[in-house]
Amino acid sequence: MTSIISYNVNGIRAAIKKGFYEWLKEANPDIICLQETKATINDVDVAPLEALGYHHNWFSAEKKGYSGVATFSKQQPDTVVEGCGIAAYDNEGRILRTDFGDWTLLNCYLPSGTSGDERQAFKMRFLDDFFDWATDLKRTRPNLIILGDYNIAHHEIDIHDPKGNKKTSGFLPEERAWMTKWLEDGGFTDAFRKTHPDMRQYSWWSTRFNSRANNKGWRIDYQCASGTMSEALRDALQLNDVVHSDHCPVWAEYEV
């Protein structure tokens, strides 16, 4: 069995101060993928990470303290590829590929559109380009896990207040339609929804209005699998009790 966690840490240095390394030692996943690291490898004390037996790969944004992803794995990847070859996205450190034998893991931090129309338009362009790029990759690497912060709540069950948020970025009809296309036309399996079709769990909560304590959240972090990795999926959950960020870890287990 291989346990994989996706976790938007909203700043790895802040998460470390809140006990991230101690939690990681206890959780002990085979692979953990972080989004929104807001740091480069030179900003972080990686000695505790290496002491736990993790190989680590980082892809940081050009802008300091912004975006970025990192993948920590007990097994050394066969191949590591930074980005998707589109400068506008790669400058923001949004996609990190690691290959393990015949399957590929993509650690992704999809853009948010909450800051205004310009970034919402950027997000929609990214979604279209990302779909095409992933479809092309799938031709040569069909066994994929594409995980991370998608910044989209797909169905009404995935958000605490669907009616009140129907015009909010992250739950717009066009974003939800893209997510349906991603799963249906793209051929991906939403790991959590496949294993728990009717369970209501969230992965992100606003820092306002005591949202987390009241569990008024959104499920915007996913593990999506294709090919043999979809078949290998055994279970998936949000680890709601883990608190280093405004997101929580998203865990899944695969029989590989």
Query: Which residues have a catalytic role annotated?
Result: 149
**Quick one: which of 18, 23, 33, 75 has its CA closest to 250?**
33
Distance CA 173, CA 179 (A): 10
Q: Cα separations (Å) of 50 from 7, 25, 26, 35, 248? A: 19, 11, 15, 19, 23
**Quick one: which of 53, 48, 47 has its CA closest to 19?**
48
Distance CA 71, CA 173 (A): 31
Any bridge partners for residue 109, and if so which? 149
Helices (H), 36-116: 47-51, 87-90
